[in-house]
Structure 1
Amino acid sequence: MEQELKDKIESLIKSENVFLFMKGTPEMPQCGFSAGVVTTLKQLGIPFGSFNVLSDMKIREGIKEYTNWPTIPQLYIKGEFVGGHDITIQMAQSGELTKKAG
């Protein structure tokens, strides 16, 4: 991965305590899994930043390489990769998501 792309991805991740790479926007998610993560974060009252990977193919492919995780959405908390939709839902149900984001 080129350094410029890596720096941009890291800058996005660090821009918010909780950051979501998703398809679409929080107001208009473009896939069910992205919508599920957005809904979960909103229900828990966790503020988050986001990036629409559909708007930038370099970041869309780069984020998969960055984490070695093949799918979108990807959630980061305090700069650390947490996981995708299923992991986020499990963490929300166990209370771990609120604890980690707090």
Structure 2
Amino acid sequence: MSNQQTLDRIKQDIESNDVVLFMKGTPNFPQCGFSGQVAKILGHLEVPYKGVNVLEDGEIREGVKAFSNWPTIPQLYIKGEFIGGCDIVREMFQSGELVSAFKTAGVPVKDAAQA
């Protein structure tokens, strides 16, 4: 697959899903601690999302880094917007910014106050 085809596939995933997490492993079986932390936060907030296992496809794994200009996995996207990796998502979750970002984007989320 060409580099452009890989980037097109990444773009398609991001555009056709409200929330996408490029991660190592799957939402139910994360293969690294950082991916697991983000998946746990999304699960805690009951946010529906598509998990893309970058371990299954080396081109996607490298392509998503180029696509976002971000060197690490996991990577979270909300409504096409790159949010960040594990540290940023965790900080946003702790401050309440993540719930606000989901609500602003129109993504169903369980309010942290109810959690």
TM-score of the two chains, using structure 1 as the length reference:
0.95
Written as runs of structure 1 = structure 2, the 5 A alignment for 1:45-64 is 45-64=46-65
User: What is the alpha-carbon distance in structure 2 between the residues aligned to residue 100 and residue 78 of structure 1?
Assistant: 10
Does the aligned pair in 2 maintain the 1:17–1:101 contact within 8 Å?
no
Q: Percent identity?
A: 55
Per-residue Cα deviation, 1:20-51 (whole angstroms, up to 9, x for no partner): 00000001000000000000011112111110
- Tell me, in whole angstroms, the C-alpha distance in 2 between the residues paired with 1:45 and 1:15: 19
- Please name the residue that 2:19 is paired with: 18
Instruction: Show the counterpart of 1:2.
Output: 3
Between the aligned partners of 2:3 and 2:17, the Cα distance in structure 1 is 23
Cα distance in 2 between the residues matched to 1:12 and 1:100: 19
Q: Report what 1:83 is aligned to.
A: 84
Which residues of structure 1 form unaligned runs of 5+?
none
Q: CA deviation at 1:95?
A: 1.1
| 8 Å contact from structure 1 (residues 18, 78) kept in 2 | yes
* Displacement of 1:3: 2.2
Unaligned runs of 5+ in 2: 104-115
2:91 and 2:102 mapped to 1: Cα distance? 14
Distance in 1 of aligned mates of 2:26 and 2:65: 18
| Alignment partner, residue 101 of structure 1 | 102
Cα distance in 2 for residues equivalent to 1:81 and 1:2: 20
Kindly state the Cα deviation for residue 15 of structure 1 after the two structures are TM-superposed. Answer: 2.2
Distance 2:30 2:49 in 1: 14
CA RMSD of aligned residues (A): 1.1
- Normalising by structure 2, report the TM-score: 0.84
Structure with higher Rg: it is 2
Q: What is the count of residue pairs matched by the alignment?
A: 102
Given that residues 46 and 98 in structure 1 are in contact (C-alpha distance below 8 angstroms), is that contact kept between their aligned partners in structure 2? Answer: no
